[in-house]
Amino acid sequence: MSQDPRVVSAIAHWAPRFVSNGVLLADFQEVTAGIGRWEDWCAAWCRRAALHEGLGHEALEQGWRLSAGEHLSRAAVYYHFAKFVFVVDVEQMQAAHRKAVACKQLAAPLLRPPARRVEIPYQDGTLAGLLRLPPGATRAPLVIMVPGLDSAKEEMEAYELPYLARGMATLLVDGPGQGEAEYRWPIRGDYEVPVKAMVDWAERQPQVDPERIALWGVSLGGYYAPRAAAFEKRLKACIGLAGPYDFAANWEQLPELTRETFRVRSHLATEAQAREHARTLTLDGGIAASIECPLFLVTGKLDRLIPWEDTQRLAREASGPVELLVVEDGNHIANNRPYRWRSRTADWMAQQLGLPQA
């Protein structure tokens, strides 16, 4: 089958991410092989998601709660990837997104440890999040985990599990321009504003140690997290995964799907407006130098989306202690080599938050 260049681009850029974040390899190969036009992407992934959703409901009806949670959580990931950069048909995208949220919400109490949906006050509304506590935890250290441009909390279970296993609580949050918040609030470069709201909320939770709150971000979230750490001094540590130093400087090398997704989630009418807005997503002007908390940065030298030199520059300019991991054969976020950094970054964070070696 002759494939739309946009489909080819999506496969080339994101296959390792899909597989390392919960999509079964056979499903990825079968679904993408059957997609000729980008316009068919969302429906194709929704059909495969529905299969896993059905298995979840079947297990739940039979009383197998853990299996149900696993199936439904996987279905949420598939529905998410149906919509992640599918802005060509917003109505179809939103329908897939609603299914992702619904599946994850049904899965949440069935997981081990369970997840709880939370609403974080922000401006005149709330940001949706998922809070998970390690078994038996009281006053646990907390890692707030923020998505990127096209990710959302429903995708992030594979990222959070190493932290839970080491005794840290996790809070996955859809910030402005992300997930459930993307329809109401556009992307904003000063992500320290929503992070302040997240930390304010976390400090009031009786299960969380307010003195041990850290921040983690992936892809564009790998910019958001360090940016917020420059201003939010209550954070004890920060992890940034393959984020841009200056988003506008990379504009021309970004895939068409990524640029268009940025435009839509910035609530802008034209690409020219989007490119101008991208200039507000920067660590220049002394912002990077204002990062004082311990910082762990990860990048892949084969990253075709965000140059690894962006991460190197941030590591050089930050004022606090920095650990930089450059994965020589890693792609964007080194999702093709997750074993090189996922456990290592979780170990590092456990150390920063005062947890014993596990």
Active site residues: 219
Scanning the chain, the segments in alpha helix (DSSP H) are: 5-20, 25-33, 41-61, 65-83, 90-107, 157-165, 192-203, 221-231, 256-265, 271-278, 308-317, 342-352
**Residue 181 to residues 97, 151, 153, 324: CA-CA distances in angstroms?**
12, 12, 11, 31
Is residue 308 within 8 Å of 250, Cβ to Cβ? no
Instruction: Find all residues with CB under 8 Å of 56, minimum gap 6, and list them.
Output: 67, 68, 69, 70, 71, 72, 75, 103, 106, 107
All residues at 6 or more sequence positions from 326 whose CB lies less than 8 Å from its CB, including other chains: 299, 300, 301, 308, 311, 312
Q: State the Cα–Cα distance between residues 140 and 230, nearest whole angstrom.
A: 24
Provide DSSP, 9-24. HHHHHHHHHHHHTT--
Q: What whole-number distance in Å separates Cα of residue 25 and Cα of residue 32?
A: 11
Contact criterion met (CB below 8 Å) for 289 and 317: yes
Residue 33 burial (CB count, 10 A): 12
Pairing of strands 169-173, 125-132: antiparallel
d(CA 56, CA 95): 19
Q: Which residues contact 136 (CB under 8 A, 6 or more apart)?
A: none
Question: How many residues does this entry show for the chain?
Answer: 358
Whether cis (ω within 30° of 0) applies to the bond prior to 226 is no
- What phi, psi does 174 have (nearest 5°)? -85, 110
